[in-house]
Chains A and B, each alone.
Chain A
């Protein structure tokens, strides 16, 4: 194995890129779960975002438009879940699974004519002087807008949850929906909004995969990243700051194993490719002691009888 072929600067820089889709999807799901809803359809919404963002970007030549449409597509799909769980009062676990199965099929159907095409490249942000700083500049300041947007989103969500009245209401709905309802808050409407936001974030995360990270469309390309994003929310104990930490950790594991594959490590490729999933399980085991921090109404159906 030739470890010297792994360039630490490139490794760290690609770590930030690898973490971005996870960060978007996990932050969206964090808001959904903080509102007391467990949406297991992240994988389905991500891949739908990935394919619709890809198609729009290819057809229009504008990656920005692709990201916007991916957000809309993810949100639309998530509204199906919202309709099922909030209006039709269906089981959240089953509905989330349905969303994933449906999304995987839908994306395969939509993406048929787009296999093997290269999308228009997303421009890197020109940060001038900053990018010229040795090492740090290359690692931190040579990315596209979305990488920084994901980080900004994490901060914005923290601010929203802990410093605004709307965030307090959202948390209230997630902790005790009956109490929130008694106080006159529209539990179902708030949850609809949270679910749609989660869907939009997952869609953007998916589009980042197909437009920047890979960049290509292949069937089933999310390969479990949506599920890892769900695990990430548990890992982060439902705190936005720790989602960043988690996403970068997972991004790091993934980039490292890909680099080791390329460097011809003595470990077979398949076992390296397993590592992100095994790390996820390990992290879940370690973190499950803090389970009590989950929003108290998480996954429980809400039906206003009065």
Chain B
């Protein structure tokens, strides 16, 4: 028999091995699911993981990859900071919506004025909006001790209702002939988050995501704040003795993750989405949680995980249109991935030892 024994320190090899094994297991079980749904699993997996990258029409899908990966990475980087310190912001979806509303609101208020710094101003507005929305659960946590998980999640539903209210009321396009939804920001040059190089999918959100990755990497590995953050997660008591202020930690983590989610929302609404509409948010805030874990809460890992997750989104659309695979199957696929990852983490933190025969 074997016994499970806690490793003195997590295994570095399995830290990166676990996500790879998890992805492979998800492919196996996901393939089985596709087969049950009556779709050839090998063909489906090829369409999800190969076609968007190297297939015949990859030139069409690759830009999409960046467009989908950017918000996921941007949000997940923010979430990972808090997750490391045991601060659970799971309301990124709400912060994403509020950021988009604040930025788009600014643009719509100034319409049709052409202002060359409008987009940067919108980004700032989006970041502030998202940060403030994220600071609500943070403030309630430090002041009253409420659970940030539940509050941040409740605020997602509040934000969704606000979005609906804006799309149908205050921000509705006055020239929209009564249809819901705001003016299209893509047709407002100063506010449009256009592609930097046409046809590549590279918009300012992608740039921001890359900057966030680099910045987070430096902060976590080279800066005192990153050290305090990691310490609060691994040894809260030790962190306290070392003078880390937990209240400040909560406020900073929730503020930063809110700001990044808000920025992601703004880049989306000023670019690929274009307008404030009821169905603007598509769940990036929740998928980003999977991205953060899959990337081991490590900035470089999150970059790769974000691209992988974007791949499943695009692959999902391909398999839906070409093979009739329901889009929900991809959602299950993504959920499965997180399950396997969490299970495989056992190998990172624990090891198997053969039990010694007991003395007679």
Contacts and interface: CB of A to CB of B under 8 A. Distances in A.
Interface of A: 40, 80, 83-84, 88-91, 93-95, 97-98, 101-106, 108-109, 112, 219, 223-224, 227-228, 230-231, 234, 268, 270-271, 273-274, 277-278, 280-281, 284-285, 288-289, 291, 303, 305
A303 B4 contact: yes
16 contacts: A84-B342, A95-B339, A103-B335, A105-B328, A105-B333, A108-B331, A224-B154, A230-B150, A268-B169, A274-B162, A277-B154, A277-B155, A281-B154, A284-B146, A284-B147, A305-B5
A122 B99 CA distance: 44
User: Which among A40, A97, A273, A285 has the highest number of chain B CB atoms within 10 Å?
Assistant: A97
A179 to B, nearest CB: 20
B23 to A, nearest CB: 15
**SS of A interface (majority):** helix
A5 B339 CA distance: 49
A231 B286 contact: no
B157 A91 contact: no
Nearest to B332: A105
A90 B161 contact: no
A274 B159 CA distance: 9
B150 A90 contact: no
B6 A105 contact: no
Interface in B159-196: 161-162, 164-165, 168-169
Given A284-B146, A285-B146, A303-B4, A227 B336 contact: no
Interface in B194-249: none
B142 to A, nearest CB: 11
B332 A109 contact: yes
B124 interface: no
Contacts of B88: 93
Given A84-B343, A224-B153, A227-B150, A285 B328 contact: no
Interface in B312-338: 326, 328-336, 338
A271 B161 contact: yes
B97 to A, nearest CB: 13
A224 B346 contact: no
Nearest to A276: B157
B5 to A, nearest CB: 7
Interface in B1-18: 4-6
A277 B157 contact: yes
Given A89-B349, A268-B165, A280 B339 contact: no
Contacts of B349: 89
A102 B332 contact: yes
Nearest to A220: B283
Given A40-B149, A109-B328, A80 B339 contact: yes
Interface of B: 4-6, 37, 88, 90, 140, 144-147, 149-151, 153-158, 161-162, 164-165, 168-169, 286, 289-290, 293, 326, 328-336, 338-339, 342-343, 345-346, 349-350
User: Which among A80, A108, A289 has the highest number of chain B CB atoms within 10 Å?
Assistant: A108
Given A227-B150, A268-B165, A105 B334 contact: yes
A291 B141 CA distance: 12
**SS of B interface (majority):** helix
B169 to A, nearest CB: 7
A93 B342 CA distance: 11
A246 to B, nearest CB: 13
B343 A288 contact: no
Given A88-B346, A112-B328, A281-B140, 6 more contacts: A90-B342, A93-B149, A94-B293, A98-B338, A284-B150, A305-B6
A106 B332 CA distance: 6
Contact of B147 (A102, A103, A105, A288): A288
B339 A84 contact: yes
A274 B150 CA distance: 15
A224 B37 CA distance: 28
A3 B333 CA distance: 48
Nearest to A230: B150
A151 B267 CA distance: 49
Contact of A90 (B6, B326, B335, B343): B343
Contacts of B168: 270
Contacts of B151: 281, 284
A102 B338 contact: yes
Contacts of A273: 161
Contacts of A108: 326, 328, 331
Given A90-B343, A90-B346, A227-B154, A97 B90 contact: yes
A284 B5 CA distance: 38
Contacts of A305: 5-6
Contacts of A289: 144-145
Contacts of B293: 94
Given A109-B326, A284-B150, A88 B331 contact: no
Contacts of B146: 281, 284-285, 288
A93 B5 CA distance: 22
B285 to A, nearest CB: 11
Contacts of A91: 342, 345
Contacts of B333: 105
B154 A231 contact: yes
Contacts of B162: 270, 274
A171 B155 CA distance: 32
A230 B88 CA distance: 15
A91 B290 CA distance: 13
B144 A89 contact: no
Given A97-B90, A230-B150, A288 B145 contact: yes
B248 to A, nearest CB: 20
A305 B332 CA distance: 35
